Structure 1
Amino acid sequence: MSDSVPEATVVEETVEVEPEYDPAAPAPLNVPRTPTGNAEVDAQLERLGDADHLATDGHLEVYEDVHRGLRDALTALDARPGPPAPPSTYQSRS
Protein backbone atom coordinates (compact mmCIF):
# COMPACT_ATOMS: atom_id res chain seq x y z
CA MET A 1 0.00 0.00 0.00
CA SER A 2 1.20 3.51 -0.83
CA ASP A 3 1.08 6.55 1.42
CA SER A 4 0.67 8.92 -1.53
CA VAL A 5 -2.71 10.30 -2.40
CA PRO A 6 -3.60 10.23 -6.09
CA GLU A 7 -3.94 13.65 -7.66
CA ALA A 8 -7.46 14.71 -8.45
CA THR A 9 -8.15 15.67 -12.01
CA VAL A 10 -9.83 19.07 -12.27
CA VAL A 11 -11.92 19.73 -15.30
CA GLU A 12 -12.78 23.35 -15.92
CA GLU A 13 -15.84 24.16 -17.93
CA THR A 14 -15.78 27.13 -20.22
CA VAL A 15 -19.10 28.84 -20.47
CA GLU A 16 -19.58 31.50 -23.10
CA VAL A 17 -21.63 34.34 -21.78
CA GLU A 18 -23.48 36.49 -24.26
CA PRO A 19 -22.84 40.17 -23.62
CA GLU A 20 -25.85 41.93 -22.23
CA TYR A 21 -27.60 44.29 -24.58
CA ASP A 22 -26.91 47.85 -23.52
CA PRO A 23 -28.88 50.37 -25.56
CA ALA A 24 -26.55 53.14 -24.35
CA ALA A 25 -23.41 51.37 -25.56
CA PRO A 26 -21.65 52.71 -28.67
CA ALA A 27 -22.93 51.09 -31.85
CA PRO A 28 -22.20 51.77 -35.50
CA LEU A 29 -24.96 53.63 -37.31
CA ASN A 30 -24.02 51.99 -40.62
CA VAL A 31 -24.92 55.13 -42.53
CA PRO A 32 -23.54 54.81 -46.06
CA ARG A 33 -21.18 57.57 -47.12
CA THR A 34 -21.11 58.18 -50.85
CA PRO A 35 -17.78 59.52 -52.14
CA THR A 36 -17.97 63.07 -53.46
CA GLY A 37 -14.91 62.88 -55.69
CA ASN A 38 -13.10 65.49 -53.57
CA ALA A 39 -10.42 63.67 -51.56
CA GLU A 40 -10.38 66.26 -48.77
CA VAL A 41 -14.17 66.16 -48.31
CA ASP A 42 -14.29 62.36 -48.58
CA ALA A 43 -11.65 62.06 -45.84
CA GLN A 44 -13.78 64.26 -43.56
CA LEU A 45 -16.89 62.19 -44.26
CA GLU A 46 -15.00 58.99 -43.45
CA ARG A 47 -13.90 60.62 -40.18
CA LEU A 48 -17.57 60.62 -39.14
CA GLY A 49 -17.26 56.84 -38.81
CA ASP A 50 -14.99 57.40 -35.80
CA ALA A 51 -18.05 58.45 -33.81
CA ASP A 52 -19.53 54.95 -34.24
CA HIS A 53 -17.21 53.58 -31.57
CA LEU A 54 -17.60 56.38 -29.06
CA ALA A 55 -20.19 57.07 -26.41
CA THR A 56 -22.43 59.99 -27.30
CA ASP A 57 -20.43 62.39 -25.13
CA GLY A 58 -17.47 61.76 -27.47
CA HIS A 59 -19.39 62.55 -30.66
CA LEU A 60 -19.09 66.31 -30.26
CA GLU A 61 -15.32 66.28 -30.69
CA VAL A 62 -15.58 64.25 -33.90
CA TYR A 63 -18.40 66.41 -35.30
CA GLU A 64 -16.52 69.64 -34.53
CA ASP A 65 -13.37 68.25 -36.15
CA VAL A 66 -15.28 67.23 -39.28
CA HIS A 67 -17.08 70.58 -39.41
CA ARG A 68 -13.75 72.40 -39.18
CA GLY A 69 -12.28 70.25 -41.96
CA LEU A 70 -15.28 70.76 -44.26
CA ARG A 71 -15.24 74.50 -43.60
CA ASP A 72 -11.52 74.61 -44.47
CA ALA A 73 -12.18 72.67 -47.68
CA LEU A 74 -14.92 75.12 -48.71
CA THR A 75 -12.72 78.10 -47.83
CA ALA A 76 -9.94 76.65 -49.99
CA LEU A 77 -12.33 76.65 -52.95
CA ASP A 78 -12.72 80.42 -52.59
CA ALA A 79 -8.96 80.91 -52.37
CA ARG A 80 -8.11 79.38 -55.73
CA PRO A 81 -5.26 81.21 -57.39
CA GLY A 82 -6.44 83.72 -59.90
CA PRO A 83 -4.70 86.34 -61.95
CA PRO A 84 -2.12 88.29 -60.00
CA ALA A 85 -3.29 91.52 -58.44
CA PRO A 86 -2.16 94.65 -60.23
CA PRO A 87 0.79 96.41 -58.64
CA SER A 88 -0.17 99.05 -56.16
CA THR A 89 0.05 102.61 -57.49
CA TYR A 90 -0.58 104.10 -54.08
CA GLN A 91 2.36 106.18 -52.84
CA SER A 92 2.43 107.56 -49.36
CA ARG A 93 3.05 111.25 -48.90
CA SER A 94 5.84 112.10 -46.56
Structure 2
Amino acid sequence: MSDSVPEAEVPAEAAPREAAEPAEPAHDPAAPAPLLVDRTPSGDADVDARLARLADADHLATDGHIEVYEDVHRGLREALSALDGRPGPPVPARHPTTAPR
Protein backbone atom coordinates (compact mmCIF):
# COMPACT_ATOMS: atom_id res chain seq x y z
CA MET A 1 0.00 0.00 0.00
CA SER A 2 1.05 3.50 -0.69
CA ASP A 3 0.83 6.47 1.65
CA SER A 4 -0.10 8.82 -1.17
CA VAL A 5 -3.71 9.23 -2.15
CA PRO A 6 -4.31 9.28 -5.86
CA GLU A 7 -6.00 12.43 -7.15
CA ALA A 8 -9.55 11.89 -8.14
CA GLU A 9 -10.24 12.50 -11.77
CA VAL A 10 -13.16 14.77 -12.53
CA PRO A 11 -15.12 13.77 -15.60
CA ALA A 12 -15.17 16.44 -18.33
CA GLU A 13 -18.94 16.78 -18.02
CA ALA A 14 -18.69 17.54 -14.31
CA ALA A 15 -15.96 20.18 -14.71
CA PRO A 16 -17.30 23.74 -14.34
CA ARG A 17 -17.59 25.42 -17.69
CA GLU A 18 -16.22 28.89 -18.10
CA ALA A 19 -18.81 31.45 -19.05
CA ALA A 20 -18.61 32.09 -22.74
CA GLU A 21 -17.80 35.77 -23.00
CA PRO A 22 -18.07 37.40 -26.38
CA ALA A 23 -14.69 38.31 -27.75
CA GLU A 24 -14.15 42.05 -28.07
CA PRO A 25 -13.65 43.09 -31.65
CA ALA A 26 -10.06 43.95 -32.36
CA HIS A 27 -9.47 47.64 -33.07
CA ASP A 28 -8.52 48.05 -36.69
CA PRO A 29 -6.82 51.43 -37.18
CA ALA A 30 -7.32 51.11 -40.94
CA ALA A 31 -11.09 50.74 -40.58
CA PRO A 32 -13.22 53.70 -41.68
CA ALA A 33 -13.95 56.15 -38.90
CA PRO A 34 -15.73 59.50 -38.92
CA LEU A 35 -13.46 62.53 -38.81
CA LEU A 36 -16.05 64.47 -36.80
CA VAL A 37 -15.20 67.76 -38.53
CA ASP A 38 -17.81 70.47 -38.03
CA ARG A 39 -19.17 71.93 -41.24
CA THR A 40 -20.68 75.38 -40.88
CA PRO A 41 -23.49 76.05 -43.36
CA SER A 42 -22.53 78.64 -45.95
CA GLY A 43 -26.08 79.76 -46.73
CA ASP A 44 -25.79 78.62 -50.36
CA ALA A 45 -27.77 75.40 -50.86
CA ASP A 46 -25.48 74.13 -53.65
CA VAL A 47 -22.31 74.72 -51.64
CA ASP A 48 -23.84 73.22 -48.49
CA ALA A 49 -24.86 70.09 -50.42
CA ARG A 50 -21.30 69.70 -51.70
CA LEU A 51 -19.85 70.13 -48.23
CA ALA A 52 -22.33 67.61 -46.82
CA ARG A 53 -20.94 65.10 -49.36
CA LEU A 54 -17.66 65.15 -47.40
CA ALA A 55 -19.41 63.01 -44.76
CA ASP A 56 -19.42 60.16 -47.31
CA ALA A 57 -15.67 59.83 -46.76
CA ASP A 58 -16.33 58.89 -43.13
CA HIS A 59 -17.59 55.47 -44.22
CA LEU A 60 -14.84 54.71 -46.71
CA ALA A 61 -11.35 53.35 -46.35
CA THR A 62 -8.64 55.94 -46.84
CA ASP A 63 -8.05 54.97 -50.46
CA GLY A 64 -11.69 55.87 -51.22
CA HIS A 65 -11.41 59.41 -49.85
CA ILE A 66 -9.77 60.85 -52.96
CA GLU A 67 -12.83 60.17 -55.10
CA VAL A 68 -15.09 62.01 -52.64
CA TYR A 69 -12.65 64.92 -52.26
CA GLU A 70 -12.28 65.31 -56.03
CA ASP A 71 -16.04 65.24 -56.51
CA VAL A 72 -16.57 67.89 -53.82
CA HIS A 73 -13.74 70.02 -55.21
CA ARG A 74 -15.19 69.81 -58.72
CA GLY A 75 -18.63 70.82 -57.44
CA LEU A 76 -17.28 73.76 -55.46
CA ARG A 77 -15.31 74.97 -58.49
CA GLU A 78 -18.50 74.78 -60.58
CA ALA A 79 -20.41 76.75 -57.94
CA LEU A 80 -17.67 79.38 -57.83
CA SER A 81 -17.53 79.60 -61.63
CA ALA A 82 -21.29 80.03 -61.73
CA LEU A 83 -20.90 83.18 -59.64
CA ASP A 84 -18.86 84.71 -62.47
CA GLY A 85 -21.66 84.05 -64.94
CA ARG A 86 -24.44 85.60 -62.89
CA PRO A 87 -25.23 89.20 -63.65
CA GLY A 88 -24.60 91.44 -60.71
CA PRO A 89 -26.40 94.60 -59.75
CA PRO A 90 -26.13 97.35 -62.32
CA VAL A 91 -23.25 99.73 -61.84
CA PRO A 92 -24.54 103.25 -61.28
CA ALA A 93 -23.70 105.49 -64.18
CA ARG A 94 -21.76 108.64 -63.46
CA HIS A 95 -23.34 111.89 -64.27
CA PRO A 96 -21.33 113.47 -67.08
CA THR A 97 -21.09 116.82 -65.30
CA THR A 98 -19.69 115.28 -62.10
CA ALA A 99 -15.93 115.38 -62.07
CA PRO A 100 -14.09 112.54 -60.38
CA ARG A 101 -12.39 113.49 -57.14
- Would the TM-score normalized by the shorter structure come out above 0.5? yes
- The TM-score normalised by the length of structure 1 is 0.68
Q: Where in structure 1 are there 5+ consecutive unaligned residues?
A: 1-12, 83-94
Deviations 1:23-70 (A, max 9, x none): 111100110101000000000100000000000100000000000000
Whichever residue aligns with residue 41 of structure 1, its letter is: V
Q: Shift of the alpha carbon at 1:17? A: 3.0
Q: Which has the larger radius of gyration?
A: 2
The 1:14/1:43 distance shift into structure 2, 3 A limit, reads farther
Q: Secondary structure at the match of 1:50?
A: helix
Q: 2:37 aligns with which of 31, 37, 61?
A: 31
Matches of 2:87 and 2:68, distance apart in 1: 31
Q: Where in structure 2 are there 5+ consecutive unaligned residues?
A: 1-18, 89-101
Q: Post-superposition, which runs of at least 4 consecutive aligned residues in structure 1 deviate over 2 A?
A: 13-18
- What root-mean-square deviation, in Å, do the aligned CA atoms of Structure 1 and Structure 2 show? 1.9
Deviations 1:57-85 (A, max 9, x none): 00000000000000000000000036xxx
Q: 1:47 aligns with which of 50, 53, 62?
A: 53
Percentage identity across aligned positions?
Answer: 73
